[in-house]
Amino acid sequence: MTSRREFLSGSATAMGLAMWPDTVVAQATPVKIGFITTLSGPGGYIGEDIRDAFRLAVEQGQGRLGGVPVEVIVEDDGLKPAQAKTVVERMLKRNGVKLFSGIVFSNILAAVVPDVLDAGGFYVSPNAAPSTFAGRNCHKNFFAIAWQNDTLHETAGLAANELGYKRAAILAPNYQAGKDALTGFRRTFKGEIAAEIYTRLDQTDFASELAQIRAARPDMVFQFHPGGLGIAFIRQYAQAGLAQTVPMVVPESSLDSTILAAVGDAALGITATTHWNADFPGEANRAFVAAFQAKYNRLATVFASQSFETALAIGAALRAVDGDLSQADAFRAAMLKADFPAIRGAFSFGPNQHPVQDWWVIKVEKGADGKPVLVTRQKIATGYGDSYAATCRL
């Protein structure tokens, strides 16, 4: 019978042996991707979609992205910046991760990404892209795949002009992305702002705000409330009888297919702007939507589409350096080419490494089966970049 001490020293040796090949034959081991995302609390479904779509891409490549074996280390940040910071520190120091992705919320990104960049790591964002990383403080190792936060809302402003609205009530939660949202909408909307309201990021009851909207008598309402917040807002909006009288124009993140499934008919008639929709033509997109539906038994959201493309973009760059992230310049150059089959259609990076792409107006209509569905209507902007690119010097 072995003593406890022997057992412990034995397992320590075994662990040491297991670690050994890692340091010697770096090429044979998969590239580690630190995937920090929000998997708990309201909004947890967004992180779940982002994780699942990324995994789908890895699975379709049989454990490889761009032919390079990868290991995706998924961790939940719980929508807590401090928790995310601890996780990223551990991944950087203990796991030697150099490549990160996955973050949903801008406030988490702001807390975590500077640490990654300071350590010489790369961050490829499948979602959040706050203004603070797009302009003067842009960084050569930071890439955004989905959008720059403001463009979501700038294009909603363009759509509102197109629809002829003159007085808007605008609402967003009181945090960085919410402020970016209202700034972005104001930048392009030509009419008058009848009311500007900040909500709380943990708010679920919007009765007070709805009364303020009614009192302001606007032509339209623009609101940015992602995830569970958006579900509560749209439902209460319909219950208050506002849906029939004041039309709503929103960015796509306030009306993804999950929100739509949860609010049902309350969403009929809402207009949104987007860079991707499930009904987009193109073989690559159809294949993605079908594969996601088959594997996870739910309709892919816009968040899932972005994350799938993030995986493809990373794959294209990994292929160029054969998985060797120490060739940082070559990896960056390959990322910038954006040499991957984007399911949204045309895609390229602007000078600040944020997307330049087309934007579309979509509308909630009754589908063939009687359930509400997001239908693409018209293009609202072509080759649209963001308003911070000019101030970025790389």
Residues 216-235 interacting with another protein (rule: CB under 8 A): 227-229, 231-232, 235
The bridge status of strand 355-366 relative to strand 271-274 is antiparallel
- What is the distance between the alpha carbons of residues 290 and 298, in angstroms, rounded to a whole number? 10
Part of the chain binding another protein (CB under 8 A), chosen from 60-68, 95-103, 210-218, 278-286: 210-218
Interior CA angle at 231 toward 270 and 167, to 5°?
Answer: 40
Distances (CA, A) of 187 to 43, 137, 195, 217, 384: 27, 21, 16, 22, 14
**Considering the rule CB under 8 A, would residue 130 count as an interface residue with another protein?**
no
Is residue 389 close enough to count as binding another protein by CB under 8 A?
Answer: no
Q: In what order do the strands lie in the sheet with 68-76?
A: 64-65, 68-76, 31-37, 99-101, 122-125, 142-144
- Pair of tokens at residue 157: 């402003």
Output 49 or 386, the one with its CB closest to another protein: 49
Write the binding mask 261 to 290 for another protein: x where contact by CB under 8 A, - elsewhere. Answer: xxxx--------------------------
Binding residue for another protein, selected from 11, 95, 204, 326, defined by CB under 8 A = 204
Residue 97 binds another protein, judged by CB under 8 A = no
Q: Cα–Cα distance between 53 and 32 in angstroms, integer? A: 17
Least Cβ distance, residue 230 to another protein (angstroms): 8
Residues 296-325 contacting another protein, CB under 8 A: 298
- Binding track, positions 30-69, relative to another protein; x by CB under 8 A: ---------xxxx-xx--x---------------------
Beta strand ranges found along 120-176 (DSSP E): 122-125, 142-144, 167-173
Asked whether the beta carbons of 366 and 358 are under 8 A apart, the reply is no
Q: Can residue 327 be called a binding residue for another protein (CB under 8 A)?
A: no
Residue with smaller CB distance to another protein, 62 or 244: 244
Identify the helix (H) or strand (E) that includes residue 359.
strand 355-366
Q: How far is the CB of 107 from another protein (least distance, A)?
A: 14
With CA atoms as reference, report the closest residue to 301 among 355, 230, 235, 369: 230
Q: Is 196 in the site for another protein (CB under 8 A)?
A: yes
Cβ proximity of 56 and 298 under 8 Å:
no
**How near is the Cβ of 169 to another protein at its closest, in Å?**
12
CA-to-CA separations, 240 to 95, 206, 214, 234, in angstroms, rounded? 51, 10, 10, 10
Check binding of 367 to another protein (CB under 8 A): no
Distance CA 387, CA 390 (A): 7
# residues contacting another protein (CB under 8 A): 38
**Of 218 and 228, which has the nearer Cβ to another protein?**
228
Contact pick of 211, 290, 346, 394 for another protein (by CB under 8 A): 211
Residues that bind another protein (CB under 8 A): 39-42, 44-45, 48, 174, 196-198, 200, 202, 204-205, 207-209, 211-212, 215, 227-229, 231-232, 235-236, 239-241, 258-259, 261-264, 298
